[in-house]
Amino acid sequence: MIWTRAFFASATLELAHLKSNRAFVALTALAAVSFLVMVRLFGLTGSRAPMALINDDRGTYSQGLIDALLAAHHSFALKNMSEEDAAKALGAGRLVGIIKIPAGFSKNVERGKTIPIDVQIDNVNVDLTNDVQRALPAAILAFGHRYNFPGARVQVAEHDVLSHDTNYIPYLVVSALALDAMVIAGILGALATAREFERKTIKLLRLSPASTGAVLAGKLIVAAAVAGTALAITVLAIVLIYGVVPVAPWMALLTLGGCVAIFTCFGAWLGVQLQRTLAAVPLLFGLVMPLYVDSGALEPTRFDGEWIWRIAHLSPIYYAVGVLEWAYHGIRVTPEPVYVDLLALAAMALVSVALTLGRLRKRGAQ
Amino acid sequence: MIASVWGMARNDLAVWLRSPAAIAAALLPALGMGILVAVLTNSVGQQPVALVTQSKGRLGARMGKILEADAEAYLIEEMTASEAERAIGDQRVAAIIVVPENFDEAVAGRKAVVDLYLNNVDIDLADDIRRSVARSIAEFDAPQLGLLGELHGPSEGILLPNPYRVAVAEHNMRATNVSFLQYQVIPIVVLVIVSIGLLGTALLTARDFERGTAKLMILSPAGRLPLVVGRSLGGSLITIALVAPLVGLGFVTHYIPYCADTSGAPRWVTILFSAPCAWTLSVPFWSHAVALIALLAAVTLTTVGMGILLGIAVRDEKLVTMIGLNAAVYLFFLGGGFTTVAFLPEWIQTASRFVPTSYAIEGLRQALFYPDLVGFGTDLAVLSACAVLSLALASGMLARAWRKG
């Protein structure tokens, strides 16, 4: 049988299968969007701890201190509250803390006195507590320098490696694209191969004179195309909702296409290994989050320590995030050059295809 | 009736035990989240930083010591300028702090500068370092602006004047801090319950419809209520069987080698051995323990009821898996997984009020971390109401579905 005929027949059949499983495909795409939304939620709590502000002083200096607190590296979301409301909100876990500027603050500062401000902290979460404990002296330092108080002898001179800061949510949503690609393409790839075992058609496949490679290619090209379409919706959402546009659009497109190809192949391999969609889907869900976090999704992986960074090299998401962050924001999150990340992605795709083909032939022979 | 209920529950337990795929489907995503939290624990807080002390003077050395002493903020390593440049290029450090050669003279002229070369790749990481360096600089002229001063200075009546004219009197609400891992393990436990209770029971129910065994059930003389109650009991028992050891382990991790933070084992060993049950908490006071058990039971019943509803509504194992996994993700995040709902925008807080897991997570955190059980009654009442409602609805829907064949 001609290779191309087998390829097209297999692709047509796969498309028909996916059409009859529209709800499943739609839910897979929904899962990808869900991850994007959830990653955003996580990003929202990364900064600006909600703190009550009780200001019993109406002078210039208290306003200066409030300005310094607001400018302290995105640390506080200050809420003016009465003492009673603040205590209630703190007790109910709705605030990280309360800052109280005492009456006479401005007058005393004017006279050169040092005034303690009372800060109550709900230290239930050590991460948020640390942020507040570090941000308060940073704000006080800025306050002192703003008014040129005598006696302050040292300042920080910051030299940033990059010309601008990348906000946390735009950073996170770009890395989430790699996660989405893995979820959608992986599940559809797994569905394409596991179905042959679930319906016992693997034996027919093996007995037919058609090339296994052509049949597999036909199935996977359709799975990848559907996954690519679903991913395009997520990409559009990122552009329209978050306003994140790639600085290198062609590279972004190429990488996302590459991710879809790799993860479809990876999913297909998983489907052949497990032979059941019901086993492959949760495994992919279970794998995807740890792989995502250990891939430079939240910050460059090497900052998390050498062993975590070394393990990350086993994950395709590490390389995908490396290229995507470069393509979208022009930043490097892997020490390896971008072309090395691209080559690693291509190599992983080839290995996945080879493994799936080998496994299909071997299993089919049984 | 009791025999029918028990028969149904026993049958479901047997099916569960023979279905490793279903167990995997329920457990793997939750365990994945657990590992994720453990990895996150490793990455929050401390950032790797290179310190280059070019100054040979006394004050330069003191500045270096202040920076090095803040081990809570940095993983600091002393380097030469060229080593540090290589390290920031290779991403082995996120920033370089330089105490320049003329530091002592500049301090005398009140014009000293500490240079911070920062890899500002994202704002979260960059701000963490900016805050920490600013605190260390402030500490140079105002020692009470360091962590010890914040905690034990003005708040204990000891106030030293400083050139910035403001000091911090910090009062912490509780005697011990809860670690990031401990705080986040609670939603993970709830996720495990959701995954097993909801997904597992939904799969069992959908399977009955797919295999046609639902028809046999309706022909049996048992009646619909015992069948729904039996399925709930089976789902609850398997959930309890899988969750109880996880929770139990959480309280004894203090005593398990390599699990506790203080074990002296490398960080990655601790994470590997303890995730996702590294609560390492002391056993709570009896009233809090009772609250904990009641909440866990209520959330189990709620998720089992929701699972039966889902299974009856969808009746397809693949679709049930996808819907269940999607639902688990929303229930986890909107319930407060990885986030504190109270700190999110108003509309998300409102949406979260309609998510039962938010009551479970809030209630469990109150029971474990707070001295008072504020809101416990509401949390338990909402969860119990959800459980009763879902079971009643499931019973009604099951009768309707079977009537229609």
Domains defined along chain B, listed by start: 2-41+179-403 (no CATH), 45-141 (3.40.1710.10)
Burial of B256-283, coded b for 16+ CB within 10 Å and e otherwise, reads: eeebbbebebeeeebbebbbbbbbbbee
pLDDT of residue B244: 84
Q: Are A304 and A260 in contact (CB under 8 A)?
A: no
Is B183 touching A (CB cutoff 8 A)?
yes
Torsion of CA B338, B340, B344, B350, to 10 degrees: 110
**First CA to last CA distance, chain A:** 23
Residues of A in contact with B318 (CB under 8 A): 21, 24, 277-278, 281
Whether residues A45 and B344 touch (CB distance < 8 A) is answered with yes
Whether residues B318 and A21 touch (CB distance < 8 A) is answered with yes
Residues of B in contact with A49 (CB under 8 A): 343
Nearest to B340 by CA among B194, B187, B191: B187
Residue in chain B nearest A293 by alpha carbon? B36
Cα A353 to Cα A217: distance, rounded to the nearest angstrom: 9
pLDDT of residue A357: 79
> B255: which residues sit within 8 A by CB, 6+ positions away?
none
Residue in chain B nearest A285 by alpha carbon? B29
Nearest to B24 among A150, A282, A303 (CB): A282
Please identify among residues 53-82 of chain B the ones whose CB lies closer than 8 Å to any CB of chain A.
Answer: 63, 72-73
Is B99 touching A (CB cutoff 8 A)?
no
Query: What pLDDT tens digit does each residue of chain B (405 aa) get?
Result: 778 888 888 888 888 888 777 677 667 777 777 777 776 666 666 789 999 999 999 999 999 999 988 877 788 899 999 999 999 999 999 999 999 999 999 988 888 999 999 998 888 888 889 988 999 999 998 888 888 788 788 888 888 888 888 888 888 876 655 677 777 778 888 888 888 888 888 988 888 888 887 777 777 777 777 888 888 888 899 888 888 887 777 777 667 666 666 666 666 666 556 555 555 666 778 888 899 899 999 999 999 999 989 998 888 888 998 898 888 888 888 888 777 777 777 788 888 889 999 999 888 888 888 777 778 889 999 999 999 998 888 888 877 776 665
Please identify among residues 230-269 of chain B the ones whose CB lies closer than 8 Å to any CB of chain A.
Answer: 267-268
Residue B164 DSSP label: T
Beta bridge partners of A120: A98, B171
Instruction: Give how far B2 is from chain A: nearest CA, Å.
Output: 33
pLDDT of residue A65: 92
Instruction: Give how far B337 is from chain A: nearest CA, Å.
Output: 9
Three-state SS for B121?
coil
Cα A197 to Cα A270: distance, rounded to the nearest angstrom: 12
Nearest to A290 among B35, B166, B178 (CB): B35
DSSP string computed for A116-156: EEEEEE-TTSHHHHHHHHHHHHHHHHHHHHHTT-TT--EEE
pLDDT of residue B264: 66
Cα A328 to Cα A235: distance, rounded to the nearest angstrom: 11
> Which of B65, B121, B341 to mutate: most A Cβ within 10 Å?
B121
Q: Where are the domains of chain A?
A: 3-42+165-365, 48-146
Whether residues B135 and A27 touch (CB distance < 8 A) is answered with no
Instruction: Give how far A5 is from chain B: nearest CA, Å.
Output: 31
> A278: which residues sit within 8 A by CB, 6+ positions away?
B21, B22, B25, B203, B317, B318, B321
Three-state SS for A59?
coil
What SS3 string covers A150-211?
CCCCEEEEEEECCCCCCCHHHHHHHHHHHHHHHHHHHHHHHHHHHHHHHCCCHHHHHHCCCC
Token readout for B244 is: 């109880």
Whether residues B63 and A44 touch (CB distance < 8 A) is answered with no
Three-state SS for B159?
coil
Nearest to A189 by CA among A287, A315, A273, A292: A273
Cα B348 to Cα A40: distance, rounded to the nearest angstrom: 12
Residues of B in contact with A118 (CB under 8 A): 169, 171
Cα A10 to Cα B226: distance, rounded to the nearest angstrom: 48
Please identify among residues 311-350 of chain B the ones whose CB lies closer than 8 Å to any CB of chain A.
Answer: 317-319, 321-323, 325-326, 329-330, 333-334, 338-340, 342-345, 348
Angle formed by the axes of helices A168-198 and A249-274, to 10°?
A: 40
Tell me the pairing of strands A97-101 and A154-160.
unpaired
Residue B248 DSSP label: H
Nearest to B319 among A23, A108, A302 (CB): A23
> Which of A167, A303, A306, A315 to mutate: most B Cβ within 10 Å?
A303
Nearest to A115 by CA among B165, B141, B150: B165
pLDDT of residue B380: 92
Torsion of CA A28, A33, A39, A44, to 10 degrees: -150
CA-to-CA dists, residue B404 to B96, B395, B397, B398, B399, angstroms: 72, 14, 11, 10, 9
Spell out, as residue ranges, where chain A has pLDDT lower than 50. 363-366
Topology of domain A48-146, CATH: abc type-2 transporter like fold (3.40.1710)
Cα A213 to Cα A92: distance, rounded to the nearest angstrom: 61
Beta bridge partners of A101: A55
CB pairs under 8 A between A and B: 384
Instruction: Give how far A292 is from chain B: nearest CA, Å.
Output: 8
Beta bridge partners of B153: none
Please identify among residues 111-140 of chain B the ones whose CB lies closer than 8 Å to any CB of chain A.
Answer: 111-128, 130-135, 137-140
pLDDT of residue B210: 84
Whether residues B48 and A303 touch (CB distance < 8 A) is answered with yes
Whether residues B141 and A152 touch (CB distance < 8 A) is answered with yes
CA-to-CA dists, residue B182 to A213, B134, B193, B250, angstroms: 49, 29, 17, 9
Whether residues B145 and A141 touch (CB distance < 8 A) is answered with yes
Cα B194 to Cα B172: distance, rounded to the nearest angstrom: 34
Instruction: Give how far A154 is from chain B: nearest CA, Å.
Output: 5
CA-to-CA dists, residue A338 to A322, A343, B76, B146, angstroms: 7, 9, 28, 41
Whether residues A136 and B150 touch (CB distance < 8 A) is answered with yes
Q: Which helix (H) or strand (E) holds B390?
A: helix B376-403
Length of chain B: 405
Cα B119 to Cα A303: distance, rounded to the nearest angstrom: 11
Q: Which helix (H) or strand (E) holds B167?
A: strand B166-172
Nearest to A42 among B45, B114, B339 (CB): B339
Nearest to B340 by CA among B357, B323, B325, B362: B362
Sign of the torsion angle spanned by Cα atoms B14, B15, B20, B26: negative
Residues of B in contact with A72 (CB under 8 A): 131
Please classify residue B148 by burial: count the beta carbons closer than 10 Å to its beta carbon, then call 0-12 exposed, 13-18 middle and 19+ buried: exposed
Residues of A in contact with B174 (CB under 8 A): 122-124
Amino acid found at B111: K
Token readout for B222 is: 């048992």
Torsion of CA B103, B105, B107, B108, to 10 degrees: 170
Residue in chain B nearest A137 by alpha carbon? B135
Cα B302 to Cα B313: distance, rounded to the nearest angstrom: 17
Residues of A in contact with B329 (CB under 8 A): 31, 34-35, 38
Whether residues A279 and B124 touch (CB distance < 8 A) is answered with no
Whether residues B163 and A151 touch (CB distance < 8 A) is answered with yes
Beta bridge partners of A78: A51
> A64: which residues sit within 8 A by CB, 6+ positions away?
A143, A146, A147
Please identify among residues 144-173 of chain B the ones whose CB lies closer than 8 Å to any CB of chain A.
Answer: 145-147, 150, 153-155, 159-173
Tell me the pairing of strands B166-172 and A76-80.
unpaired
